[in-house]
Structure 1
Amino acid sequence: MKKLFVAIGAAAAITACAHDPQNNTGALQSGADAISTELHRHIAELASDAYEGRAPGTPGEEKTIAYLVEQFQALGLEPGNQGEWLQDVPITSVVPSHDAVLSLRGSDFSADLAFGDDMMLFTLQQMASTRLDDSPLVFAGYGINAPERGWNDYADVNVTGKTVVVLINDPGYATQDPDVFNGNAMTYYGRWTYKYEEAARQGAAGVIIVHETAPAAYAWDVVRSSWSAGQIGLTAENRNADRAAVQGWIPVEQAERLFAAAGMDYAQMKAAAARPGFRARPLGDIAASVTLNNQVNSMVSRNVVALLPGSESPDEVVIYTAHWDHLGVRPNEGDDDIYNGASDNASGTAALFSLARMFKDQDTPPERSVMFLAVTAEESGLLGSKWYGENPVFPLQKTVANFNMDNIAAGQLGLTRDVAVVGFGNSELENYLLDAVQEQGRVVVQEPFPEKGFYYRSDHFSLARVGVPALYLTRSTDSIEHGKEWGAARLNRYIRDHYHKPSDEYSPDWDLRGAVQEVQLLFTMGNKLANNSDFPRWNDKVEFKATREATMAAPASPSNTENGQ
């Protein structure tokens, strides 16, 4: 395996061959018209009003999974989950009442924070009521425990039964120092999901993140709207013990007030937390109390699992993922209340069919098995892919890699010179990408906003966190016909006007040549991996490397397919 050379700065783009993709007559370009036709057909179907926005647990789900199974069957694939097409995913929603009040009390301080404007609190414990009773507050910096980086904000402090207050993002973003974590590029340690998980591992009863717009990459209004409807998670099955009783956010203005009451300057404490050796400390004698009364509802959604068995090593698998779900039907200010999700993610789901057809069309089947996994509840927190990661059909030791497709039609930019990698520099899968990109005459670039942590916000992350090397490409913007400025403006217009809105609707006028390019790249990479013996590795200091190494060193359990289940 040749070593991936990553250059930042003047060589931020890794240049491939100089020929123009429009004139590429090689193997990758062949079949482009067929892929385009397939994408148009399947996107038009899945994004039609008849599917009611494809929300889990609705008639739209039933219609969607029926269509997916029908298409995979027509392509000649096999049911991939122990002889079944579907994998049940148990899901529970927990919606807190909006009359909750967070009471903060100290010897010289008293404050009552209202739900919505002053705080957003919720729980992932699937219980009718959760609470904090005079839980002492502790400032735990960024709330990070990263042994491989020599960083532990919880060193020498016991937070059992207490409520930790932590900062969003990570010290790399705070310092903009490339030698601190990943500098401007967010690591998983910067994501709110990690902070809640780690606080619970440390025994905290509550965890509150301080919201700031720049490091969070979204305004307080997004926090308020996103969390007011509560949370959907995988059904408990003993998960409650792994979750803090109360989780949530406070705006930075409330944090500044709180720190001042504890005799601390928020800005100074924030700066201290970004330096090695920081130690958590109590916020004076201030304690938190709150009761959350919750509405709890459970359901079962489904992943769709299709398989092309390998001819030589059928127990090893390459996985392609795309989420089939979107936001369904919900009240909207305009006349249209169906969130069709044409680009997000009917486009990625449609690409699964093109890839399956391309693998089936080969004269010789791949040596390794190839799985096409359409997962549910991505919009609710990557739940379908998380369930698969915890309940894999193939052992993780035998899972070679994951290629994820999400929103591949965003902006309809046509042919581009660049290919953007989310989580640039993470794994040896980028070597395969470089080889495939050379055949298209394009360049590989880092994602445009690495500080926003997009690597942790789509389904590949569920495979990465259990150690499987995963690659996720994002929208490229350097249009061959119109230039980079035009492409960036068009993509930003999509995000502003259509992303997660009813107007994300299909049109037969869509230019899907860029999506076709992505499908071709993904096929080339996956086909090469499916026909060799390589197990790509994570690069050094990537947070998933230790998990993968431990998994690969452990004895492999037989796969479900080997058991004949």
Structure 2
Amino acid sequence: MRSALPTALLFAALAALPCPADPAADDAASTIRANEMRARIEFLASDELEGRATLQRGNDSAAKYIASEMRRIGLSPGGPDGSFFQDVPLWVSSYKYNYFLELRFKGGKERIDFEAFKHFTIGPGSGHDTVEGGILFAGYGITAPEYGWDDYKGIDATGKVVVVFRHEPQENDEKSAWDGKKMTKHSSFESKIENAKHHDAAALVIMNDPLGGHDPLFDSVDVVPDTMVSRTSIGFEEGKQPRNEPGGMPVVFLTMDSACRILHKTVDEMIAVQKEMDGSGNSGAFSVAGELKVRTQVVGRLQTTEKKLARNVAGVLPGGNPSKMDEVLVIGAHYDHLGSFGSGDDTIHNGADDNASGTAGVLEIAEAFCAMEKRPDRTVLFIAFTGEEIGLLGSRYYADHPLFPIDNTVAMLNLDMIGRDSNDDPKNARQVGVAGGATSSSWRPLLDGLVPSSNLELTWLDTDPGGSDHQPFRDKRVPVLFFFTGFHKDYHQIGDHADKIRFDKSADIARLAFRVALDVADRRKRPDWTDPVGARPERMEQGASAHRGDEIAIRQLSEEEAKRAGLDAEMKGLRVLFSKRKDLREGDVILEAGDAPVTDPGEFMKLLASRKGGSVSLFVQRGKRGTFFVHLKGTDLEGWAPGIK
């Protein structure tokens, strides 16, 4: 870790900086131009950089480009070895999974063996076990007293294999009592799974609702998909063998034709069943002669685990006031994206908005600072982070291994996705969202004073921001601001191309961030820290969907959070809201515990309590594409919940 930069070195660096002569602050801001933003974004989002995935060739090319630009602009190297790079050591671990899936119908003399991945597949949230039981069709599998609906009313699902429709009643009716065409919580896979467990079902089979007109639940193939056979995790921990413990209720997706064979119905007859249910408000439950055997066992094995080096890119503008130059303002953005994957003619996820736009903004702000003859009073660190898309790895590493002491870090400004309009709605053409307003009493007065002279309209976002590279700084009690223009249809899609960027708007946002940075760098007193209200355990509401302990707080994952984490919107794990632990971070999603899915915080806490004195393995997703295992044993289980001491 670097201590405060010696004064002599700072003045020497100042003398060496090839910055232009002294324009006023307004003139410096005017050096941030749309055409320069365009040139930077178009290069970073070009096919040549192959989507800039962490540890891949295109990511390294992007890092070298950013370093060369920092050098050209006139920044001093910020890396601990005198270069522009801070190494970020990561473990890359690969896992291989074998699927033992079986779905067999037996009724009288009839026997049907369904083919895995062609006729059925393991569903999200499935347990890993083998069961056999009678067959019960239970409508939508919903119990919703607020809508006067109970598919399990008057039937006994104990020990049965329950078959249910996807989604919910009257979903295509704008006037539906079920919140019109908007899906309620009861439509989710997680809700159906939990309700089946509540009614002691042996297994759950989910089929498409025939009136919905939906795409198939899964792509029917003859072999197990590669994405299910192999998983790769990237993180700070060395890979370990999963425990592969059996247990939990099996959940499978079944094709429409296969489901009809089990239920002894035609598709037209199932359409009639659904119409009758939607029209009458009554469950269409019925039993089926015969039994169904369901096996959903998965065995994972660690294949390889290898240590590799990723890189943050850091450039420094030393402060000009000897009494304040040891204090540091951090301005950052992540430069990584998702890389190249998928099928078709175009597989490169270029990431123009996410986050070539923010990276270009940081470089333009650095150039504006260097356009001023008078250096800011405080030192400014410009940093491009790696590994954001797989768990904020670069910024988390920096926060734990800072180039300047965290106690001397006065604030962190983060630019992530600043190039589009939220939802591509023209009404949001001037809108920019800013989060972090509650981390300092300085922020709202400052922004409210600067925005009127810009071309922008400010929307304050959540008061306790997370989900991007400002989060590790906030967790270290550093005041943060996060500039963000919102999600759109190309978020994490092939279509996030440079030709869809609003370069004028991104330049306006960079100019606004520059003026904020200049104020922070020169103000008499550093911004104060205020603890944001939000996902703190002492403030978190208690209830069936949330629990807290001394060291960690979790709750059921919402649909929007699932989307941001890269999960199926209908699948819900447990989101970590707050953590003092080293093995789990805020924003992590716990998908499995002991090789069984976890969807209910209460049941999860009971599982941990039952393992007191023993051990349990958690399968965790961090960021959009990274997964890993956390192995808890002994004292690792402390601090989760009352009773686990």
TM-score by length of 2: 0.48
C-alpha separation in 1, matches of 2:529 and 2:244: 37
**Displacement after TM superposition at 1:30 (Å):** 7.6
Who is 2:453 aligned against? Answer: 439
**Displacement after TM superposition at 1:305 (Å):** 0.7
Who is 1:215 aligned against? Answer: none
The CA RMSD over aligned residues, in Å, is 4.4
**Displacement after TM superposition at 1:98 (Å):** 3.3
**Displacement after TM superposition at 1:79 (Å):** 0.5
Q: Secondary structure of the residue that 1:87 maps to in structure 2?
A: strand
Q: Secondary structure of the residue that 2:418 maps to in structure 1?
A: coil
**Displacement after TM superposition at 1:417 (Å):** 4.6
| Offset from partner CA, 1:236-273 (integer Å, 9 cap, x none) | 27x98xx99789x999989xxxxxxxxxxxxxxxxxxx
Who is 2:95 aligned against? Answer: 96
Moved more, 463-472 or 349-358: 463-472
Q: Provide closer, same or farther for how the CA distance between residues 97 and 357 of structure 1 changes in structure 2, counting only shifts above 3 A.
A: same
C-alpha separation in 2, matches of 1:441 and 1:391: 38
Q: Provide closer, same or farther for how the CA distance between residues 535 and 252 of structure 1 changes in structure 2, counting only shifts above 3 A.
A: farther
The one-letter code sitting in structure 1 at the alignment partner of 2:408 is K
The question of whether the paired residues in 2 share the 8 Å contact of 1:118 and 1:250 is answered with no
Q: Secondary structure of the residue that 1:374 maps to in structure 2?
A: strand
Q: Secondary structure of the residue that 1:53 maps to in structure 2?
A: coil
**Displacement after TM superposition at 1:335 (Å):** 0.7
Q: Secondary structure of the residue that 2:98 maps to in structure 1?
A: coil
**Displacement after TM superposition at 1:351 (Å):** 0.9
**Displacement after TM superposition at 1:426 (Å):** 4.2
The question of whether the paired residues in 1 share the 8 Å contact of 2:420 and 2:501 is answered with no
Q: Provide closer, same or farther for how the CA distance between residues 501 and 442 of structure 1 changes in structure 2, counting only shifts above 3 A.
A: closer
**Displacement after TM superposition at 1:119 (Å):** 4.2
**Displacement after TM superposition at 1:503 (Å):** 2.0
The one-letter code sitting in structure 1 at the alignment partner of 2:451 is V
Q: Secondary structure of the residue that 1:530 maps to in structure 2?
A: helix
- Residue 386 in structure 1 maps to residue 396 in structure 2: yes
Find 1:502's aligned residue among 474, 494, 513: 494
C-alpha separation in 2, matches of 1:226 and 1:515: 36
Q: Secondary structure of the residue that 1:467 maps to in structure 2?
A: coil
For residues 288-367 of structure 1, what are the structure 2 equivalents within 5 Å? 292-298=300-306, 299-312=308-321, 313-332=324-343, 334-367=344-377
The question of whether the paired residues in 2 share the 8 Å contact of 1:79 and 1:307 is answered with yes
C-alpha separation in 2, matches of 1:458 and 1:540: 16
Q: Provide closer, same or farther for how the CA distance between residues 409 and 252 of structure 1 changes in structure 2, counting only shifts above 3 A.
A: farther
**Displacement after TM superposition at 1:419 (Å):** 3.4
Q: Provide closer, same or farther for how the CA distance between residues 423 and 370 of structure 1 changes in structure 2, counting only shifts above 3 A.
A: closer
Find 1:118's aligned residue among 115, 123, 138: 123
C-alpha separation in 1, matches of 2:66 and 2:465: 26
| Offset from partner CA, 1:45-84 (integer Å, 9 cap, x none) | 1111111111222221221111111110000100012222
Q: Provide closer, same or farther for how the CA distance between residues 99 and 399 of structure 1 changes in structure 2, counting only shifts above 3 A.
A: same
Q: Secondary structure of the residue that 1:408 maps to in structure 2?
A: coil
Q: Provide closer, same or farther for how the CA distance between residues 53 and 357 of structure 1 changes in structure 2, counting only shifts above 3 A.
A: same
C-alpha separation in 2, matches of 1:367 and 1:302: 28
**Displacement after TM superposition at 1:474 (Å):** 1.9
Q: Provide closer, same or farther for how the CA distance between residues 465 and 231 of structure 1 changes in structure 2, counting only shifts above 3 A.
A: farther
What stretches of structure 2 of length at least 5 have no aligned partner?
1-23, 102-115, 130-216, 219-224, 253-295, 539-550, 552-579, 581-645
C-alpha separation in 2, matches of 1:319 and 1:36: 23
Q: Provide closer, same or farther for how the CA distance between residues 233 and 345 of structure 1 changes in structure 2, counting only shifts above 3 A.
A: same
The question of whether the paired residues in 1 share the 8 Å contact of 2:479 and 2:529 is answered with yes
Higher gyration radius (CA) = 2
The question of whether the paired residues in 2 share the 8 Å contact of 1:340 and 1:505 is answered with yes
**Displacement after TM superposition at 1:337 (Å):** 1.4
C-alpha separation in 2, matches of 1:366 and 1:251: 61
For residues 148-187 of structure 1, what are the structure 2 equivalents within 5 Å? none
The question of whether the paired residues in 2 share the 8 Å contact of 1:72 and 1:353 is answered with yes
C-alpha separation in 2, matches of 1:250 and 1:468: 42
C-alpha separation in 2, matches of 1:409 and 1:226: 31
Who is 1:526 aligned against? Answer: 517
C-alpha separation in 1, matches of 2:340 and 2:446: 40
Q: Secondary structure of the residue that 1:437 maps to in structure 2?
A: helix
Number of residue equivalences = 359
Q: Provide closer, same or farther for how the CA distance between residues 29 and 306 of structure 1 changes in structure 2, counting only shifts above 3 A.
A: closer
| Offset from partner CA, 1:91-145 (integer Å, 9 cap, x none) | 223343333679xxxxxxxxxx9997334699xxxxxxxx99xxxxxxxxxxxxx
The question of whether the paired residues in 1 share the 8 Å contact of 2:436 and 2:480 is answered with no
**Displacement after TM superposition at 1:363 (Å):** 2.3
For residues 29-428 of structure 1, what are the structure 2 equivalents within 5 Å? 31-32=29-30, 34-82=32-80, 83-99=82-98, 117-119=122-124, 230=231, 232-236=233-237, 292-298=300-306, 299-312=308-321, 313-332=324-343, 334-411=344-421, 416-422=429-435, 425-428=438-441
The question of whether the paired residues in 1 share the 8 Å contact of 2:477 and 2:529 is answered with no
Who is 1:468 aligned against? Answer: 478
| Offset from partner CA, 1:469-518 (integer Å, 9 cap, x none) | 21112217xxxxxxxxxxxxxx6xxx22x2212221222x7432221221
The question of whether the paired residues in 1 share the 8 Å contact of 2:456 and 2:508 is answered with no
TM-score by length of 1: 0.55
The question of whether the paired residues in 2 share the 8 Å contact of 1:89 and 1:234 is answered with no
Q: Secondary structure of the residue that 2:33 maps to in structure 1?
A: helix
Moved more, 464-473 or 399-408: 464-473
C-alpha separation in 1, matches of 2:491 and 2:233: 21
C-alpha separation in 2, matches of 1:454 and 1:529: 21
**Displacement after TM superposition at 1:44 (Å):** 1.2
| Same amino acid, percent of matched pairs | 28
Q: Provide closer, same or farther for how the CA distance between residues 457 and 70 of structure 1 changes in structure 2, counting only shifts above 3 A.
A: same
**Displacement after TM superposition at 1:418 (Å):** 3.9
The question of whether the paired residues in 2 share the 8 Å contact of 1:320 and 1:373 is answered with yes
| Offset from partner CA, 1:15-57 (integer Å, 9 cap, x none) | xxxxxxxxxxx96698557421210111111111111111222
- Residue 514 in structure 1 maps to residue 523 in structure 2: no
The one-letter code sitting in structure 1 at the alignment partner of 2:520 is L
Q: Secondary structure of the residue that 2:65 maps to in structure 1?
A: helix
The question of whether the paired residues in 2 share the 8 Å contact of 1:51 and 1:63 is answered with yes
The question of whether the paired residues in 1 share the 8 Å contact of 2:94 and 2:304 is answered with yes
Q: Provide closer, same or farther for how the CA distance between residues 321 and 363 of structure 1 changes in structure 2, counting only shifts above 3 A.
A: same
Q: Provide closer, same or farther for how the CA distance between residues 471 and 116 of structure 1 changes in structure 2, counting only shifts above 3 A.
A: farther
Structure with larger RCO (C-alpha < 8 A, sep 6+): 1
